[in-house]
Amino acid sequence: MTADLRLSSGAQVEPVLVVRTAGLPASTLARLRFDATSAVLDELAESRRWLAVRGAELSAALYDVIGAAGRPARPALVGLRRALHQCRRPSAGEWNERMAALLPETLREGVGEWATRWEAHRLLTADLPRTLSEETGGKLDELRKAAEDPAFLRALSQASPALFDELEKWISGRSPLSPERALENALSELSSVLADLVRRYPEQREEARRMVEDPSRVRAMADHATLYGCADAFSRFGFLLGTAPSRRLEDVGRTTGFGNHDLTDDLMEAVSRYLDTGLDVIVVDQTTPEHRTARLACTKVIIPGTLPMTFGHDHRRTDGLPRLREVPWRLGYRDRPLDPSEINPHPHPFP
């Protein structure tokens, strides 16, 4: 924004006024707002409010119907009333054509609309992690650009060397070399996923069971985790929880490495290992004039076929990816490459 600034002499100064918060320009912080995610959250909040208010109204209206209903239908109608009051999905026995026929037309239409909007709310909730994930990627790039500003880094290195070191690790993407730290980071990430799953699983228990039986119901990112909250899917983790020997943490980090004395040789050997297995290594030069001024280079490396993960089981990619069949064989777990029929048919559990 601009401001009408004048010196004591009366001379007018017309600069661009930059407001900095937490060391970053306000304009940068504005670009870091999660507008798409916030819009979805606002929609979910309004949807939840409507479901609660309308559910309470319909629940109250069902009292008279329950009182007049015969004994066979009464338990199902009571269950329907509770579902509306508790804002949960009615079971197949609580809401179906037979139950709908017992209701007055206005009440029947009201419950039908409520059930439809409840399902829309569920789908929007399930899609929220995808929206957040997509938006996070762009925001992280924006934050990284701001954090890489040389002036910002110089000031931070003087103000807080410890924080500067942590920021450098994040900017460079360094992982802890200590197995203990790596395990701690993995468990920390897992705990955040579990907290969300434990919170929402009770309402999605039946849907999780249906996804175990029908993987095509796994459509959004959150569905993958929900599915594996079901005890019926636990046996699918047998390859992790089976008879494989355990290893001590102090032994995990001991590797022989490449054995070279130059990082360039290490890099070329790593590239050669991919090329020798038939994969392609694509390097895109993204060096900007600003990089060159600082005598830096920036590249993006892509190895097609190394990350076939998708979200939604119907979108999974298994054809034309030899690495998917050959890795167990190359690592010594199998005596031959897998047949296509031997590839795990189940949805993956990430995240």
Residue 77 phi, psi dihedral angles, 5° rounding: -65, -35
Rg (CA), the chain: 28
Tell me how far apart the alpha carbons of residues 344 and 240 are, in angstroms, rounded to a whole number: 14
Q: What is the pLDDT of residue 1?
A: 42
CA distances from 98 to 55, 83, 87, 227 (A): 20, 17, 21, 30
pLDDT value at residue 350? 78
pLDDT at position 168 is 67
Q: What pLDDT sits at residue 238? A: 82
DSSP result, 216-281: GG--SHHHHHHHTTSGGGGGGGHHHHSSPPP--HHHHT-------SSHHHHHHHHHHHHHHTT---
Tokens encoding 60: 């109250």
Mean pLDDT by 10-residue block, N- to C-terminus, for the chain (351 residues)?
A: 55 54 66 87 93 93 83 86 91 89 91 94 90 78 72 72 68 61 75 76 89 89 86 86 73 65 85 87 93 89 83 83 84 85 85 72
Q: How far is CA 262 from CA 77, 172, 259, in A?
A: 75, 20, 9
Q: What is the largest CA-CA distance in the chain?
A: 92
Q: Which of 100, 248, 233 is nearest to 180 (CA)?
A: 248
207-213 long-range contacts, Cβ below 8 Å, gap at least 24?
A: 207/122, 208/233, 211/347
Buried residues in 117-140 as b, exposed as e (16+ CB within 10 A): ebeebbebbbbbbbbbeebeeebe
Beta-carbon neighbour count of residue 30 at 10 Å? 9
Question: What pLDDT, on a 0 to 100 scale, did the predictor assign at position 306?
Answer: 81
For the whole model, what pTM was predicted? Answer: 0.44
Specify the 3-state DSSP secondary structure of 138: helix
Q: What is the C-alpha to C-alpha distance for residues 301 and 282, in angstroms, rounded to an integer? A: 6
Report yes or no: 87 and 51 within 8 Å, Cβ to Cβ: yes
Query: What integer pLDDT is reported at residue 121 of this predicted model?
Result: 94
Please give the pLDDT value at position 170: 62
E strand spans, the chain: 5-6, 12-13, 20-21, 24-25, 282-285, 299-302
